[in-house]
A = this chain, B = another copy of it.
Amino acid sequence: MNLITLNARAGRISFVTGPVLYFAPDQELYSQGGTADMFLKLVAGAVRTCRFLNDGRRQIDAFYLPGDIFGFEFAAEHSLSAEAICDCTVISYRWRGLANARANQDGLPERLFAHAMRNLARAQSHARLLGFSSAAEKLAAFLLEWSEHSADRTLITLLMSRQDIADYLGMTVETVSRTLTQLRNDGLIEFISARQIKLLDVAALTALTA
Binding site for B on A (CB under 8 A): 51, 53-55, 57, 59, 61, 73-75, 79-80, 98, 109-110, 112-114, 116-121, 123-124, 126-128, 130-133, 170, 207, 210
- Write out the residue numbers on chain B whose beta carbons fall within 8 Å of the beta carbon of A75: 121
Determine chain A's interface SS by DSSP, over half rule. Answer: helix
**Contact assessment for B210 and A53 in the assembled complex, using a CB-CB cutoff below 8 Å:** yes
18 more A-B residue pairs beyond the given contacts A54-B207, A73-B117, A133-B170, with a C-beta to C-beta distance below 8 A: A51-B128, A54-B210, A57-B210, A59-B127, A59-B128, A59-B131, A74-B118, A75-B121, A80-B124, A112-B113, A113-B116, A119-B120, A123-B124, A126-B127, A127-B127, A127-B130, A131-B170, A132-B170
Number of copies: 2
Q: Is the CB of A79 within 8 A of B170?
A: no
Q: Closest 3 A-B residue pairs measured CB to CB?
A: A53-B210, A123-B123, A130-B130
Whether A127 contacts B123 by the Cβ 8 Å rule is yes
For A167, the closest partner residue in chain B by CB is B131
The residue in chain B whose Cβ has the minimal distance to the Cβ of A123 is: B123
Quick one: which of B80, B121, B123, B210 contacts A74, CB cutoff 8 A? B121
A168 to B: closest C-beta gap in Å = 9
